[in-house]
Amino acid sequence: MTRAAHAVVDAARLWLGTPYVHQASVRGAGCDCLGLVRGVWAEVFGAEPEAVPPYTPDWSEPQRDEVLWRAAERHLQPKSLDRPEIGDLLLFRMRDGSVAKHLGIQSVTEPAPMFIHAYARHGVVESPLSDPWMRRVAARFEFPEKV
pLDDT tens digits for 80-122?
A: 999 999 999 999 999 888 899 999 999 999 999 999 999 999 9
Distance in angstroms (rounded) separating the CA atoms of residues 140 and 122: 23
Domain ranges of the chain: 3-49+66-142
Strand order in the sheet with 123-128: 77-79, 137-142, 89-93, 100-108, 114-119, 123-128
Q: Which CATH architecture has domain 3-49+66-142?
A: Alpha-Beta Complex (3.90)
Q: Is the peptide bond before 111 cis (omega within 30 degrees of 0)?
A: yes
pLDDT in tens, 43-79: 999 999 898 888 877 666 667 789 999 999 999 999 9
